[in-house]
Amino acid sequence: MTARIIRLGTPRAADEGLRIGTVRRPPRGVPKAEFSSQNWYDVWYPNLAPSVETMKFAQAAQHDQPGGDREWATFRKKYRAEMAEPDASRSLDLLAALSHHANFAMGCYCEDEAHCHRSLLRELLSERGAKLG
C-alpha cells in the first residue's frame, strides 16, 4: 500500500488506486463525468491546494530568472503555513495513515514537480510517516 504523488492527466499506474485532485479548480473544458476516465482525478480535494492568493503568487514566479529561488522559498513558506492550519493538517495526517492501508495517488496539473505544491505535499506526507511510492 502506498501513496503516489503524480501529475494529473497522466496515464494511471497499475494498482494506483483512487486518484485525488489537490487542485484549486477542475480541468477546463472537461465535462465532470469525464474527469476520472480522462485520468484527471476520481475525487476533487481542493482542501490541500494552495489558496488562490498563494497559487497566483506561484504562477507569477519566474523560477528561471534571478530571484526565482527567493520566490520559490516564499511560496514554499506560504503553502506550508496553509497546510499547518488545523483542517489541512488533519487531512495530511489522515492521508499519511491511509497510505499504510490503501493505494492512492494525489497531485495537480503542473508540468514541473520541482516548482509545484505537489513536491511540498510529498514532503509533508513524508514528515508524517506516509508510505510513498
Q: Which helix (H) or strand (E) holds 37?
A: none
**Strand extents, DSSP E, 15-132:** 18-21, 43-44, 104-108
Task: Return d(Cα 13, Cα 46) in angstroms, integer.
Answer: 23
* pLDDT of the residue at 64: 61
For 42-69, what is the mean pLDDT? 81
Residue 100 has pLDDT above 70, yes or no: yes
User: What's residue 34's pLDDT?
Assistant: 97
Is the pLDDT at 62 greater than 80? The verdict is no
- Of 34 and 67, the structure prediction assigns the larger pLDDT to 34
Closest CA to 16 of 2, 27, 35, 29: 2
pLDDT (0 to 100) of residue 93: 98
- 54 CB contacts (<8 Å, ≥6 apart)? 75, 78, 79, 82
Residue 115 is classified by DSSP as: G
Q: Where are the beta strands (DSSP E) in the chain?
A: 3-7, 18-21, 43-44, 104-108
Q: Percent of the chain at pLDDT above 90?
A: 80
| Amino acid at site 89 | S
- The mean pLDDT of 71-90, rounded to a whole number, is 94
